[in-house]
Structure 1
């Protein structure tokens, strides 16, 4: 269920939201199976039938995710802006790219990104396969070309062999498109279950009493109107400033893709998984405080002035969405360049 703008409530969310809105003092725990109808349990892998996830493809994608030679300067990799050691983000308001250029938007976490219905803040890529192509060619990011990417990969024998194993049915498997498919296949394994998933699976001890109160507040406040599904967000577009506008928002959002006036200030709703570890927040990294972000969202999206106690409870719940156990990815030992490998370019 996706919506470009306007207030949205999924029909699954309505019963719980209506109940808690009319019973604000309700103190019993929410049954995990009721919560599961809103969010569901994350899969182990975010599969894509048009790009099957195979061990060989994932292994190649793991190498390429950390491979700076995909960039013109041979200094920037996917991991530069989506650091797997830092919950899939770079920790900057907006990212630094080729020749120290500053990008216009905050880099979302790559963790669980494959669960989302579209990619980038403005939804200009339909999936992670398409998204993986964008940064390599963007002059402000990796500033490469399809030809340069292929030339460098074909000049390294180990990569040629890895592409053959990852795409065994192709006569010339080393291609820009296959490089993106391999990176995407790897990203489709970067799924991070949390304590909240254990709670939905029936483990009532997985959340603390304060986190359970935060979950109820999250539902009662109406956050689930946009932040639902397995990604706890990432399943729809929404206008930022639905009820009240913020003075600092200059980005026109999806309008830059569609040129539809109705899409001004419309963005993809971000996933809240790992949100406690992915500051700063909003499309331009406007705030470093999760408490401030929650309070802002309550006001501009729902028209509610959340109390400090309500914010504290919601933030406590959001902490339960962090990866547990923490994501573990083995760093690849990248193969050396050869005399035929194009040199780094300024």
Structure 2
């Protein structure tokens, strides 16, 4: 009987110790869930690298466009005579020396009218699945046609444009060489689109890294790429264009627009196209290629630096805190996405 009582007492002691250990384990797990900063997000120290299975793929070296059509499109792209005021061209907003943008929150068009949204880069535009921040246009042809007539951009009417081009002998010769029917609305758009399609920026350091050059990125930049994936940024920014291939709501886990204030119609995003309430504040995800040289960021141009943009994205899209060290590492990775145009690396110039 005494042995039975001793065994029962021993069992009770072990049982109490087990409960205490279990309670401690639960408390530690709960603390980690409630305070993610206590254990910063980390990537594998030496991950096995397989470029084929990476969520981002390198750009090709070039997209083939006939030389004569490319040259004609380039001339039209830079010609202010296509605008109603004869003062702005496609290149006015899409300056190739500034990453394919003008580095302003909103761009001045005809007669100084300001665009409702920030101008996205024209580089690598061929890899976007829709055009405009709200995805209104499904092709570059539709998009170019609309911009030519947009009163905030080119403000032109096609009869006037064609009449103007018809008075230029060089255009007669160039159009006749490329198109049997010469100067037409369809052919003007086609030449501009062909030129824009060829504006890709291959051979970024990150592309070289994906192609097997492990020395193309520093250890910190590689860590930044790992964090970019681990935090979930890559769920929207992937593929050959590191974005540009899907829609997403701006403010998945927080009300960005309530916090920013001064909501405009342009902030409604895709809702302006579909009138579907589910599309309010939904936008085409931008490409992050050359992002380091194309500030300011977002459709409203409110973030001036990569670091600000990263912090806003993590807060409103992912809903989690992020250490400043991780912000810097991700920003350094994003700088490796800067590619080349005409065999020269794009540069970050002052606005």
Same fold (TM over 0.5): yes
1:289 aligned to which of 305, 325, 332: 305
Contact 1:32 1:199 in 2 (8 A): no
Distance 1:144 1:202, change over 3 A: same
| Correspondence for 2:49 | 31
1:220 aligned to which of 227, 230, 233: 230
Question: 1:205 is paired with a residue of what secondary structure?
Answer: coil
1:243 aligned to which of 241, 253, 271: 253
1:144 aligned to which of 131, 144, 156: 156
- RCO (CA 8 Å, sep 6+): is it higher in 1 or 2? 1
Distance 1:85 1:30, change over 3 A: farther
Name the CA distance, whole Å, in 1 between partners of 2:110 and 2:212: 47
Distance 1:145 1:303, change over 3 A: same
Name the CA distance, whole Å, in 2 between partners of 1:302 and 1:320: 23
Task: Give the Å deviation of 1:328.
Answer: 5.8
| Residue 173 in structure 1 maps to residue 182 in structure 2 | yes
More helix by share: 2
Task: Give the Å deviation of 1:41.
Answer: 2.1
Question: 2:143 is paired with a residue of what secondary structure?
Answer: helix
1:280 aligned to which of 296, 301, 307: 296
Task: Give the Å deviation of 1:313.
Answer: 0.7
| Correspondence for 1:252 | 268
Question: 1:204 is paired with a residue of what secondary structure?
Answer: coil
Aligned length: 300
Deviations 1:133-156 (A, max 9, x none): 222111111111111111111111
Can you give the 5+ residue segments of structure 2 that lack an aligned partner in the other structure? 1-38, 346-351
Matches within 5 A, 1:112-123: 112-123=124-135
Matches within 5 A, 1:314-333: 314-324=330-340
Matches within 5 A, 1:1-346: 24-34=42-52, 37-46=54-63, 53-167=65-179, 170=180, 172-193=181-202, 194-246=204-256, 247-248=259-260, 250=264, 251-324=267-340
Which segment drifts farther, 243-252 or 212-221?
243-252
Which segment drifts farther, 319-328 or 215-224?
319-328
Task: Give the RMSD, CA atoms, in angstroms.
Answer: 2.0
Question: 2:193 is paired with a residue of what secondary structure?
Answer: helix
Contact 1:29 1:212 in 2 (8 A): no
Q: Which structure is larger by alpha-carbon Rg, 1 or 2?
A: 2
Name the CA distance, whole Å, in 1 between partners of 2:47 and 2:120: 32
Can you give the 5+ residue segments of structure 1 that lack an aligned partner in the other structure? 1-20, 48-52, 330-346
Deviations 1:164-207 (A, max 9, x none): 1222xx3x221122111111111111110211111000011111
What stretches of structure 1 move > 4 A for 4+ residues in a row? 325-329
Question: 1:130 is paired with a residue of what secondary structure?
Answer: helix
| Correspondence for 1:12 | none
Name the CA distance, whole Å, in 2 between partners of 1:113 and 1:67: 20
Name the CA distance, whole Å, in 2 between partners of 1:244 and 1:78: 36
Question: 2:224 is paired with a residue of what secondary structure?
Answer: helix
Deviations 1:199-227 (A, max 9, x none): 00001111111110000000000011000
Question: 2:304 is paired with a residue of what secondary structure?
Answer: coil
Distance 1:325 1:76, change over 3 A: closer
TM-score using structure 1 length: 0.83
Task: Give the Å deviation of 1:302.
Answer: 1.0
Distance 1:77 1:30, change over 3 A: farther
Name the CA distance, whole Å, in 1 between partners of 2:136 and 2:343: 28
